[in-house]
Amino acid sequence: MNKIKAFIDQRGLGSFLILAALILVVFPLAMDIFRLNLVGKYLTYGFVAIGLVMCWGYGGVLSLGQGVFFGLGGYAMAMFLKLEASDPISTKIQSTPGIPDFMDWNQLTALPLWWAPFKYLPFALIAVLLVPTLLAFVISFAMFKRRVGGVYFAIITQAVALILSVLIIGQQGYTGGVNGITDLKTLLGWDIRTNSAKYILYFANAALLLGCIYLCLWVQKSKLGTLLLAMRDKEDRVRFSGYDVSMFKVFAFCLAAMLSAIGGAMFTLQVGFMSPSFVGIVPSIEMVIFAAVGGRMSLIGAVYGALLVNFGKTYFSESFPDLWLFLMASLFIGVVMAFPNGLAGVYTSHVKPWLARRKATQIRSQALAVPPADSAPQTEEAEIPGLIRAT
């Protein structure tokens, strides 16, 4: 038992295991399937949040366009699911059976060539990972090799989010337009709308998120993570030490993009649709808020931030439909002003020292309660003369 505890303390896995117990045990036991499915949707944003921790918190690269990669991953998965739902039998009432309904509405008579490979799940899964990562590589390589960074890079990512959302809305016949890709029913013939399917997808989503967190923890504790921190704080020193700073930034940005794309794909499976409302500037800024509220230096805190913000959005919109936007703004401003380092900062600055003091107090109390080792022999020797006199 002591070896297990030492391993957990050495690896810093205590908070990781608490989060795992919360999302794998507590939430499923305490919530009905509707609320659990909502939590599953919130956890898909956790992928974006931990990606921002790696990119922004560790790499010092602020991206205001993570919705681009979230949306690309979601659209890649949605294209596969939509083609599966658009078989000739299910679409026999259309003018052109065998193509998605929105294509038929826009008078397309054949499936576009670039849609055809998405009939196969392996290709769709590869596209979920590679397409957003390649786009992130092109953008970051072009910018960081020219030493464009800071607020300028953030504005460029924001512009990319705007461009992609306008492109998706404008190409209605190919993307579904403003409505997005909807009415997604099955995955390889398995109905993803049933309660049992929602449970399975929730646990798959949670396990995948925990796996990504563990991967990021491993990166943070490696030499690469040390270099990312050094690059964030003293970029010139790292460059003068012979390292290619631009490629480290490219790596951090591409890693964040891939994590966001995985979250987008899981979002499509959990919710059953994908639309450009998750791609633009506003959702991208909200995703940054997830990391800021949770703590941009903490992977676990970022997940809690995503859960808190989205829970607040759901609760306030249900309970105060006329005021929920103002309440959400108050939540953002209040958390940032009261806790500059996010929820994780509260734990580090207040909870952790309090636990350390309490543990030290318990150790001192136990030490005082134990009598000295040589006290027992002295007592026996002291009682011997008394016994002799009594005799």
Write out pLDDT tens, residues 177-188: 899 999 898 898
- Asked if residue 362 belongs to a domain, the reply is no
DSSP-assigned letter for residue 276: G
Residue 26 pLDDT exceeds 70:
yes
Average pLDDT, the chain: 86
Residue 178 lies in a domain: yes
pLDDT bucket at 101, cuts 50 / 70 / 90: confident
The answer to whether residue 27 is domain-embedded is no
Q: Is the pLDDT of residue 106 over 70?
A: yes
In a domain, 375, yes or no: no
Q: With cut-offs at 50, 70 and 90, classify the pLDDT of residue 4.
A: low
Indicate the number of domains in the chain. 1
Angle (deg, nearest 10), helices 14-21 and 195-221: 170
Angle at 65 (CA atoms; ends 59, 69), nearest 5 degrees: 90
Task: Write down the pLDDT at residue 388.
Answer: 45
Asked if the model's pLDDT at residue 13 lies above 90, the reply is: no
Residue 181 Rama label (left phi>0; alpha psi -120 to 50; beta): beta
What's residue 390's pLDDT?
A: 47
CA–centroid distance for 122 within its chain? 23
- Where is pLDDT greater, at 227 or 5? 227
Q: What is the 3-state secondary structure (H, E, C) of 345-368?
A: HHHHHHHHHHHHHHHHHHHHHHHH
Residue 12 lies in a domain: no
pLDDT-derived band at 371 (thresholds 50, 70, 90) equals low
User: Of the ranges 97-111, 182-196, 246-260, 369-383, which one carries the lowest mean pLDDT score?
Assistant: 369-383
Q: How confident is the model at residue 118 (pLDDT cuts 50, 70, 90)?
A: very high
* Residue whose token pair is 């399975």: 200
Evaluate whether residue 289 is within a structural domain: yes
- Expressed as residue numbers, the domain containing 136 is 39-352
* Confidence class for position 331, pLDDT limits 50, 70, 90: confident
Residue 26 covered by a domain:
no
Nearest to 233 by CA among 225, 12, 63, 338: 225
Q: Is residue 293 part of a domain?
A: yes
Q: What is the pLDDT of residues 222-249, one digit of tens each?
A: 999 899 999 888 888 888 888 889 999 9
